Structure 1
Amino acid sequence: MQNSTPPLFKQGIPALAKLVACLVIGLALMVIDFQVKSLGFIRNQVSYVLRPLENLMLLPSDLFSFGDDYFTTRSALEKENLSLKTRQTELSLLANQAALLSVENQNLRNLLDLQKNTNFTTVPVEILFNPPNPISQRVVINRGSNHGLNLGSPIANDAGILGQVVRLFDNSAEVSLLEDWDFAVPVLVARNGLRAAVVGAGRGNLLQLRYLPVASDLEVGDILLTSGVDGIYPPGFAVAVITKIERNAEQNASNVFCSPIAEVNRHLQALALIYNPQWDAKPAIGSGGPATAPAPGRRQTRPKGQP
């Protein structure tokens, strides 16, 4: 049976009449739906059937949006993380620098206090670098003969003796530290006045007291001070503390090991001591008055003509 064309869409009906008829039918359905709500059930069923198809059609767009958001967020987080790490590194460096400046500030304060309580001239020095010698324990400072230093000038900090100038230039000097091999300082034991010489034994090794008999009155913990008998080091500066004693009765000798009191590799600032033993000499009897010792903590007056 051949299907016949609906009367509305027969070829004889003009196209405009067909359009008007469709619009009238559509408006009528809209009015009926708005007034009676009779098409709600049908719409819900159709929407229920078409919803999965809509979701399926929107899936590529959702995936594209999700991927774009994911990579955008990941890139932003990576940049933020890198920025935070850089800031953390900067803050860490600033904190380390602040700690270093605090330590140097305290060290400089101690050196200033030491300058006020000495009876000799002091020259502030700064350690520049270590010479490229893996064996010796030496440093180069930023003061030389133009600043009053001499060969043998002691170098010290607020804790005690650090070393001695062994090479002198116009504006710099090389200093041999206490630990340098065979570096010697005349000392005396603060407890009993026993005199000896502290000798360096190389980088990282303990200092030694040599040529002492077994019966020497020494104890672990004794403080060793500069004796001043060499005319180079001012007397009374701390040098080392005895940490170990090995007595050998058969050879009548004692191996005495000491640790430096002034940590030789700790700070970059120190003082060079310009010392003349004549400044500590007492006037001879009959030279104009009794000999008097200087008051502790006060600078002695040097004789005229002395540098």
Structure 2
Amino acid sequence: MDTIFTRGPSLNIRLILALVMSVALIIADTRFDMFQSSRVYMNSLMSPLQYLANLPSVLLNVSAQRLTSHEDLVDENQRLTNQVLLMSERMQRFDVLQAENDQLRALLDTPSKPGMRKKVSELMAVETSPFSQQIVLNKGALDDVYLSQSVLDDRGIVGQVSEVGTTNSRVILITDVTHAVPVRSVRNNIRFIASGTGSLDELLLEHVPHSVDVEVGDMLVTSGLGHVFPEGYPVAQVSKVTRDESRPFAIVVAKPVARLDRLRYLLLLWPEGTDDPQEIDAVTEDEASVEDAN
């Protein structure tokens, strides 16, 4: 007698088939990069959900700004006025230094570097995995964002773009264990490789001989090698140097200058000589409307 519901494969067989298919998909993606375009489409499909998840935070910020008292606004205005005066004084000194630098470059017959195109972006999400340090920005392919693009905050290098969607992009931080940055010391121009340790406040300089002149407090900036990060941007400051002769190399630890634990607004850089140099976009339309309302 035939039963209405036929019995399918056992649970063990189903588990084995699932494992085999999973391994096959992993190998296909790792070896042949077959799902690169699929990830871009999935990232684009998920971007509306990310904007929706970010909506409560935006609404709370708008509400908090509207509830700010008149006294707080007066105090903040005074503080910003003082800050503008200080920045104006620094800009005056910068103009003098830039003029001197142009004169020195002319003596060396070295042309000045053209301006770099810039664009402000806003943090949308933070990777919650304990094995990966990545963030999501609200700029994507529609804003000309590209893979390996440099990202920094108001203090120094933050990371580089690792995935690009239509309206957002994913950035891997310099402290991720899979990331490394070519740097040089400002004091003596010695070059190093600064690798991530998985901690937001720590980088490790790889394979540093005991005889190398490196000291606590040395400022490390991008060296320009690898053609990913432009030369001369601050990366980290040496915080610890341990020379143990029982080890083949010295242990040199540096602290990133970027505030990786409190990121919000970030700057995307384009290569020198691109169109629209010195372009800095408005932060967001929502914030502009809030300012107009205030």
TM-score interval, smaller chain: 0.5 to 0.7
- C-alpha distance in structure 1 between counterparts of 2:200 and 2:267, whole Å: 23
1:75-224 equivalence runs, <5 A: 94=68, 119-204=115-200, 206-224=202-220
Could you tell me how far 1:121 is from its partner in structure 2? 1.1
2:251 pairs with 1:255: yes
| 1:237 matched residue in structure 2 | 233
- C-alpha distance in structure 2 between counterparts of 1:258 and 1:98, whole Å: 39
Letter in 2 for 1:155: V
Q: How far does the alpha carbon of each residue in 1:145-193 deviate from its partner, in whole angstroms, 9 at most, with x for none? A: 2211111001012211011111111111001112211311110000000
- C-alpha distance in structure 2 between counterparts of 1:209 and 1:118, whole Å: 31
| 2:224 matched residue in structure 1 | 228
Letter in 2 for 1:172: N
Aligned to 2:243, what secondary structure does the other structure show? strand
- C-alpha distance in structure 1 between counterparts of 2:160 and 2:80, whole Å: 22
Letter in 1 for 2:186: A
Q: Which has the larger radius of gyration?
A: 1
Aligned-residue identity in percent: 30
Could you tell me how far 1:275 is from its partner in structure 2? 1.7
Aligned to 1:166, what secondary structure does the other structure show? strand
Letter in 2 for 1:229: L
- C-alpha distance in structure 2 between counterparts of 1:118 and 1:268, whole Å: 28
Aligned to 1:275, what secondary structure does the other structure show? strand
**Stretches (4+) displaced over 4 A:** 101-106
Aligned to 1:248, what secondary structure does the other structure show? coil
Q: How far does the alpha carbon of each residue in 1:92-115 deviate from its partner, in whole angstroms, 9 at most, with x for none? A: x747x979x989998xxx9xx9xx
Relative to the length of structure 2, the TM-score reads 0.55
| 2:6 matched residue in structure 1 | none
- C-alpha distance in structure 2 between counterparts of 1:98 and 1:202, whole Å: 39
Compared CA separation, residues 180 and 140, structure 1 to 2 (3 A): same
| 1:272 matched residue in structure 2 | 268
Letter in 2 for 1:134: P
| 1:46 matched residue in structure 2 | none
Q: How far does the alpha carbon of each residue in 1:182-228 deviate from its partner, in whole angstroms, 9 at most, with x for none? A: 31111000000001111110034511001110001100000000000
Aligned to 2:160, what secondary structure does the other structure show? strand
- C-alpha distance in structure 2 between counterparts of 1:165 and 1:146, whole Å: 15
Compared CA separation, residues 254 and 144, structure 1 to 2 (3 A): same
Unaligned runs of 5+ in 2: 1-63, 92-112, 279-294
Letter in 2 for 1:146: L
* Alignment check: 8 A CA contact 1:135 1:203 kept: no
Compared CA separation, residues 159 and 204, structure 1 to 2 (3 A): closer
- C-alpha distance in structure 2 between counterparts of 1:98 and 1:220, whole Å: 41
Relative to the length of structure 1, the TM-score reads 0.53
1:3-42 equivalence runs, <5 A: none
Compared CA separation, residues 207 and 255, structure 1 to 2 (3 A): same
- C-alpha distance in structure 1 between counterparts of 2:201 and 2:153, whole Å: 21
* Alignment check: 8 A CA contact 1:178 1:264 kept: no
What is the number of residues matched between the two proteins? 184
* Alignment check: 8 A CA contact 2:155 2:258 kept: yes
Kindly indicate whether structure 1 or structure 2 has the higher relative contact order, using CA contacts under 8 Å at least 6 residues apart. Answer: 2
